[in-house]
């Protein structure tokens, strides 16, 4: 089976103080094969993040299923998976990167990457050396390794975020507008990072505002229109 199969997925939100519901997305269908990179574009508020957050199970859907082909559990419907399974998958198989760095306060960048590896059961000395390799790989200045990331620039925070997520070698990586607040130079760096991840066989789903950024990078691009996904021609590297 595919790495990910999304079937008739729909999500609405209840706005309690108004006593109303809002349909965020409906009838979403797509498949993601191993090693593929799917890009999602669309207007602000069209439901792109809702799809990604539902794959990560931050949100629970109302309809449909999201079947994920797990290394550990076989085919799992991410909507029905137990909390324990979800925690395992987040730790070992599915990564999520956004422009925001949500990490433990007063923890240095080196410690944050180390912790990700320790959580996976790596011994301390391996965690230490792999963390340094990852920080080097993602070009975080060694002067920043023992600093707290709250003072980092947007690009530095993002590269640390990507290092924390990818050091675990996730099989599936979700990128939620990671380049939103970056300048052109930093965006280029992120593009190179994504290219490297692709070469290493990581399967990716990414949201980007910038269609130019996706040019030649994604295997397929979908556009959110009227709460549904429509396949876009001409942006992907399929020609």
Ligand X SMILES: Nc1ncnc2c1ncn2[C@@H]1O[C@H](COP(=O)(O)OP(=O)(O)OP(=O)(O)O)[C@@H](O)[C@H]1O
In this chain, which stretch among 38-46, 79-87, 91-99, 186-194 interacts with ligand X, using CB under 6 A?
38-46
Verify binding: residue 13, ligand X, rule CB under 6 A: yes
**How is residue 117 written in tokens?**
């590896």
Please give the C-alpha separations between residue 158 and each of 69, 96, 170, 177, 183, in angstroms, as whole numbers: 28, 12, 17, 11, 12
Size of the site for ligand X (CB under 6 A): 11
**93: DSSP letter:** T
Q: Which residue has tokens 């080097």?
A: 136
Verify binding: residue 57, ligand X, rule CB under 6 A: no
**Smallest distance, ligand X to C-beta of residue 120, A:** 29
Verify binding: residue 50, ligand X, rule CB under 6 A: yes
- Given candidates 33, 45, 142, 216, which one binds ligand X under the rule CB under 6 A? 45
Choice between 126 and 180, CB closer to ligand X: 180
Site for ligand X in 91-130 (CB under 6 A): none
Verify binding: residue 142, ligand X, rule CB under 6 A: no
Verify binding: residue 46, ligand X, rule CB under 6 A: yes
Phi, psi for residue 163 in degrees, rounded to 5: -60, -45
Task: Give start and end residues of each alpha helix (H) in the chain.
Answer: 48-55, 83-92, 109-119, 124-137, 154-166, 184-199, 211-214
Distance CA 31, CA 33 (A): 7
Residues in touch with ligand X (CB under 6 A): 13, 22, 24, 42, 44-50
């Amino acid at each position: 089976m595919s790495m990910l199969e999304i079937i008739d997925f729909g999500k609405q939100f209840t706005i309690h103080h108004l006593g109303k519901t809002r349909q965020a997305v409906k009838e979403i269908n797509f498949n993601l094969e191993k090693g593929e990179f799917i890009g999602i574009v669309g207007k602000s508020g069209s439901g792109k993040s809702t799809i990604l957050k539902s794959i990560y199970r931050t949100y629970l859907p109302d309809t449909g299923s999201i079947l994920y082909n797990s290394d550990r559990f076989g085919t799992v419907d991410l909507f029905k998976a137990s909390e324990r399974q979800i925690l395992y998958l987040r730790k070992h198989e599915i990564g999520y990167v956004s422009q925001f760095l949500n990490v433990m306060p007063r923890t240095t960048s080196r410690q944050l990457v180390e912790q990700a590896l320790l959580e996976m059961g790596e011994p301390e000395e391996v965690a230490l050396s792999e963390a340094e390799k990852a920080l080097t790989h993602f070009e975080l200045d060694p002067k920043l390794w023992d600093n707290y990331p709250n003072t980092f620039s947007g690009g530095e925070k993002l590269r640390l975020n990507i290092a924390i997520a990818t050091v675990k070698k996730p099989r599936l990586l979700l990128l939620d507008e990671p380049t939103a607040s970056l300048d052109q130079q930093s965006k280029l760096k992120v593009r190179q990072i994504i290219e490297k991840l692709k070469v290493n066989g990581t399967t990716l789903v990414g949201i980007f505002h910038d269609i130019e950024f996706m040019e030649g990078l994604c295997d397929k691009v979908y556009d959110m229109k009227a709460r549904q996904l429509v396949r876009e021609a001409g942006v992907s590297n399929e020609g």
